[in-house]
Amino acid sequence: MAAGVGRRMQPVTLKVPKPLIRVNGVRMIDTIIQGLRRNGISEIYIVVGYLKEQFRSLVDEYGVRLIENPLYDTCNNIASLFFAREYLKDVIILDGDQMIYNDKVLMPCFKKSGYNAVWTSEETSEWLMQVQDGRVVSCSRTGGANGWRLYSISRWTSEDGKRLKSHLKEEFERNGETQLYWDDVAMFRHLEEYDLGVFPMEESDVLEIDDFSDLVMVDSSYKGEE
């Protein structure tokens, strides 16, 4: 998922799409693609939109395939997954703007759909899931404490992928819900129709860089570019 403008990362993203930003010399998306390939995953699709031409080099470098989201500048990322809906079968869905430090979080073997998550007993403002008997029963957009912090790495079985495709068409195409996050579809609009679990990991396994201040904290070479 790499179509967004990345406004919170400006001014760096004025010339470079967020997933192609170098963090301490390494492009964020390289850590994802390389991690997938080290897990034996070679069928990789990248949904592009903003500055899409800059992603073409990845086709030659890694053999990935590009899917264009022509509505990247007017819709939320539900549009990106809508345009990739034909590929939602035994799939891992990831945002392209994160650093993968532990390849094990991308292991392809799974029997159940769900999200990578980190247990937190402390307060967080990130999306926080509650789990009962191995099943996600609720999620808070505003965070909280004593729950599973959701990360943008998720797995979908063939059955759930077909269900997700149908729900994407319902919400985006028929209901006109163009400003949803795609995760809203399963997590908030149709949660009862999915048996979602969590794939536990450590906070150090993945780094999500949300805005420019986060980038400066990780890579001080960007300091002064505000």
For the chain, what are the domain ranges?
A: 7-222
What's CA 52's distance to the chain center, in Å? 18
Peptide bond into 108 cis (omega under 30): no
Q: Are strands 22-23 and 26-27 parallel, antiparallel or unpaired?
A: antiparallel
Displacement of CA 206 from its chain's centroid (Å): 12
> pLDDT (tens digit, 9 = 90+) per residue, 23-65?
999 999 999 999 999 999 999 999 999 999 999 999 999 999 9
Helix (H) or strand (E) holding 21: none
pLDDT band at 224 (very low <50, low <70, confident <90, very high): confident
Single-letter amino acid code for the residue at 138: S
Decide: 68 and 52 in contact? Cβ < 8 Å. Answer: yes
What is the CATH number that goes with domain 7-222?
Answer: 3.90.550.10
- The predicted-structure confidence for 121-177, as pLDDT tens digits, reads as follows 999 999 999 999 999 999 999 999 999 999 999 999 999 999 999 999 999 999 999
pLDDT tens-digit series, residues 55-100: 999 999 999 999 999 999 999 999 999 999 999 999 999 999 999 9
